[in-house]
Amino acid sequence: MTKMSFENHIMKQFDEELEEIRTRLMEMGGKVEQQLQNAVLAIGQADSKLAEEVIVEERHVDAMEVDIDEACILIIARRQPAASDLRLVMMVTKAVNDLERIGDEAKKIANHAILLAEGGGSIKGYPEIRHIGTSVIKMLANALDAFARFDAEAAIRTIEEDKQIDLDYKTALREVVTYMMEDPRSISRAINILWVVRSLERIGDHAKNLCEQIVFVVKGKDIRHQ
């Protein structure tokens, strides 16, 4: 089955419950996406206030994770979903976990944004952050779009983007190490940069997980670790 439908249950309430977790997952995805964008922006613009917002927002994301998980448990207990319904519910419980982790990483980036803004100094490392940041933001957006459309092909294409991000991450590491060697006084600043690119790389991995889960919902195939 490639065409996904979470409607037309004899129990109309069940349709609504599935639609509800799907909508809430998309809301959570949108929120996390916003956090990531703001965190990356906060570094580029040395905007501590924006970074603070990202940090505060993280708590809302955590609360959403708990809420959606609870709704999934209720659906399993009440409806004993099967087949595509079951796959959707299982996917959502895993996806909220990945989204929450993305939120965590965005928060870490925001923390480093504050440190970098306070520290001042050169913009060395920013182009790397911006480059990886743009790729990761795009990848997450593509993953969330693929989920909204239940588009397994788009999800598989998006998984491929992670490879480039991993390569860019390695390149960035080398660059930052070079900055450290050139100017040992910049080491603590460079370490902050390192943590940021590391977080961005991790977000790419979580977006990849999300895509794998989309393929699982649509095709019923587990493509993890392949």
Partner 1 sequence: MGVKDTTAVPVINKKASINRQTIAPKIASGHGLDVDDHKVTVGQSFSQNAKMTMRNVNVFYGDKQAIYDVNIDIAKNEVMAMIGPSGCGKSTFLRTLNRMNDTVEGCRVEGDILMDGENLYAPKLDVVELRARVGMVFQKPNPFPKSIYDNVAYGPKIHGLADTRVDLDEIVESSLRKASLWEEVKERLHQPGTGLSGGQQQRLCIARAIAVSPEIILMDEPCSALDPIATAKIEELIEELSQNFTIAIVTHSMQQAARVSHRTAYFHLGKLIEVNPTEQVFTMPEHPLTEAYITGRFG
Report the residue number, 42 or 194, with the smaller CB distance to partner 1: 42
Cβ-based neighbour number of residue 180 at 10 Å: 18
Beta-carbon contacts of residue 147 (< 8 Å; ≥ 6 apart): 25, 26, 29, 95, 155, 210, 214
Among 63, 66, 74, 123, binds partner 1 (CB under 8 A): 123
Among 94, 126, 191, 198, binds partner 1 (CB under 8 A): 126
Among 21, 64, 96, 137, binds partner 1 (CB under 8 A): 137
Report the residue number, 79 or 202, with the smaller CB distance to partner 1: 79
- Is residue 191 involved in binding partner 1 (CB under 8 A)? no
- Is residue 77 involved in binding partner 1 (CB under 8 A)? no
Residue carrying the six token digits 């943590």: 195
Cβ-based neighbour number of residue 113 at 10 Å: 29
Among 70, 73, 121, 177, binds partner 1 (CB under 8 A): 121
Q: Give the integer Cα–Cα distance in Å for 43 and 22.
A: 32
Helical segments of the chain, H only:
12-44, 48-79, 83-119, 126-149, 152-182, 187-219
- Is residue 144 involved in binding partner 1 (CB under 8 A)? yes
- Beta carbons of 81 and 72 less than 8 angstroms apart: no
Q: Give the integer Cα–Cα distance in Å for 53 and 41.
A: 12
Closest approach of Cβ 69 to partner 1, in Å?
19
Cβ-based neighbour number of residue 226 at 10 Å: 7
Identify residues 29-68 at the interface with partner 1 (CB under 8 A).
29-31, 33-34, 37-38, 40-41, 43-46
- Is residue 7 involved in binding partner 1 (CB under 8 A)? yes
Residue 207 backbone dihedrals phi, psi, to 5 degrees: -65, -35
Residue carrying the six token digits 């004899």: 10
Among 16, 20, 23, 70, binds partner 1 (CB under 8 A): 23
- Is residue 150 involved in binding partner 1 (CB under 8 A)? yes
- Residues forming contacts to partner 1 in the complex (CB under 8 A) are 1, 3-11, 14, 22-23, 26-27, 29-31, 33-34, 37-38, 40-41, 43-46, 80-87, 116-123, 126-127, 130, 133-134, 137, 141, 144-145, 147-150, 220-221
